Amino acid sequence: MGSRPNASRIKADTIVIGAGPAGLGAALALGDSAIVLESRETVAGLCDTLTLDGAIFDLGGHSFHTPHPAIRRLVFDALEMEEQNRDAWCWLNGEWVRYPFQQHFSELADSDSRHVCQIGLDTAGGWQDAANFDEYLDRRFGRGITELFMRPYNRKLWGADLTRLDTEWVAERVAAPVGTAESSMSESGRRSPIPREALIAYPAKGGYGEIFQALAQRVADLRLRQCVTSIDPRTSTLRIANGETASWRRIISTLPLPALLRLIPNVPPAISSAVSELEALPITIIMLVLDGRYETVRQRIYCPDKNIIGHKIVLNHNSSHWLRRLPRHGVQVELSEFNPLSRSTDVRSLVNAVVAGLLRMGVIPSPDYVRRTKVLRIPFGYPVQTRSRSNIVALAQHWLSEHGIYTVGRFGEWAYINSDEALYRGHCVGVKLAVSERTQCGGTPRQPAPVVGVTFDT
Ligand SMILES: Cc1cc2nc3c(=O)[nH]c(=O)nc-3n(C[C@H](O)[C@H](O)[C@H](O)COP(=O)(O)OP(=O)(O)OC[C@H]3O[C@@H](n4cnc5c(N)ncnc54)[C@H](O)[C@@H]3O)c2cc1C
């Protein structure tokens, strides 16, 4: 791993753009036929970690959990991981209820609220035919659960209009209500929402980014500080910010689709215009360095409460024993673009509002614990799964693949996926290209021996 000496022209069979999970997955499948170009000084993309005054933060709370056995083996072989039970909570109207709310509303103190949730659930139905996410919530959970938790929480995250979201992603992301069996992830190989007390993993030492640092060591040719600035499919070349050019036969891109299309000349207007309608949700992370230890085992707090700033709170120091032993602890609050404070330039007021919320919840005992804060804006935080998204992505991917360009990953496919899935999908694209290669060249059309042993099934 690391930068290579400059050459006037790079030649590669396949160029992988981006060394986040999807790019690394693709590169591991392609071995020495691929060169990875990454614009930043480090790998990991959205899974990167930063250290602030001795406290460790990830770019949004991250933990590892996967339905793909080969991806689990890949990660656990690459570095030491620590597993622990997930410990997630909801905070609403001044009380704690275990997460997910739809399975634990019986913990509410108020008997009327419990009753409304149960009656709503008993009469709910027909969610399989829901036309959009908003309708899905009512039909799946009934009025009580939807009004107390689901709608306010999701509006805090996705904005007021939940009818613009499709329901394609919900089976993987939104837990079923109490009393409903969900298939086990590892048995089915397909993702279902992480159960509350599932085993989740995190690097035994350091932050989440360590996983991808370790995987990057296995990549044959990875070049950092190489920002791709243009791609010309007619000449099969691309340009890098430092002035170098590269020739390629195929590109695997993990860039956000609109950013990729902007690099390519003569994209048909119908495609550029469709892709410009994809919606990305920027998020703001407010990081607080706490002086001294704060003793709680909670890892995540999901917060529909309007009076608390942020929809999700991550107590990152509880992600591993190693983090817990550090003298300074990191707490991070995630704020959606839809909260006007996220766009305010008045950072002090934002931080004060966040601290006030944490005090109200008892997450921090006193403002004196806060030694330092940092506010970070992530422009591409969540790909919004709008109802038009699948058709737009299919249209763009079809045109790009005719020009030898394949896109994968969270914003490459505009899919609300986690890092393990991005790694898996990147690897699958690499394997798929290697298989089609052999077939086209008259070789035996057989499964290649992928580096990580993932069975190709997409
Ligand atoms: C708040 C939040 C919480 C999350 N929580 C979890 C979690 O708990 N567990 C989990 O598994 N996942 C989680 N995720 C999701 C996870 O971070 C992503 O799914 C994953 O990082 C996507 O990988 P990717 O490779 O598709 O994209 P990215 O990670 O975005 O990687 C893309 C790479 O491309 C590079 N790049 C961009 N432009 C160029 C260019 N012009 N030239 C060269 N390189 C370029 C970027 O620098 C970057 O390294 C979370 C994400 C967020 C935002």
pLDDT tens for each residue of 15-43: 999 999 999 999 999 999 999 999 999 99
47 Cβ closer than 6 Å to some ligand 1 atom: yes
320 Cβ closer than 6 Å to some ligand 1 atom: no
How much is the pLDDT for 279? 98
pLDDT tens for each residue of 261-296: 999 999 999 999 999 999 999 999 999 999 876 667
> 129 and 251: one domain?
no
Q: Which domain holds residue 76?
A: 49-86+280-382
> 147 and 173: one domain?
yes
25 Cβ closer than 6 Å to some ligand 1 atom: no
pLDDT tens for each residue of 37-63: 999 999 999 999 999 999 999 998 999
What is the domain count for the chain?
Answer: 3
Q: Which atom of ligand 1 is nearest to the CA of 421?
A: 19
> 105 and 235: one domain?
no
Q: Residue 4 falls within a domain, yes or no? A: no
How much is the pLDDT for 220? 96
Return d(Cα 140, Cα 151) in angstroms, integer: 12
> 191 and 113: one domain?
yes
> 250 and 396: one domain?
yes
> 389 and 273: one domain?
yes
Distance 62 CA to ligand 1 centre (A): 11
pLDDT tens for each residue of 185-205: 444 456 677 766 689 999 999
Query: What are φ and ψ of residue 290, in 5° steps?
Result: -100, 130
Res. 444: pLDDT tops 70: no
The protein residue whose alpha carbon is closest to atom 48 in ligand 1 is: 45
Q: Residue 457 falls within a domain, yes or no? A: no
- Which stretch of 110-114, 154-158, 320-324, 343-347 has the lowest confidence by average pLDDT? 343-347
225 Cβ closer than 6 Å to some ligand 1 atom: no
63 Cβ closer than 6 Å to some ligand 1 atom: yes
221 Cβ closer than 6 Å to some ligand 1 atom: no
CATH number for the domain harbouring residue 316: 3.90.660.20
Res. 446: pLDDT tops 90: no
> 303 and 161: one domain?
no
Rounded to two decimals, the pTM is 0.92
222 Cβ closer than 6 Å to some ligand 1 atom: no
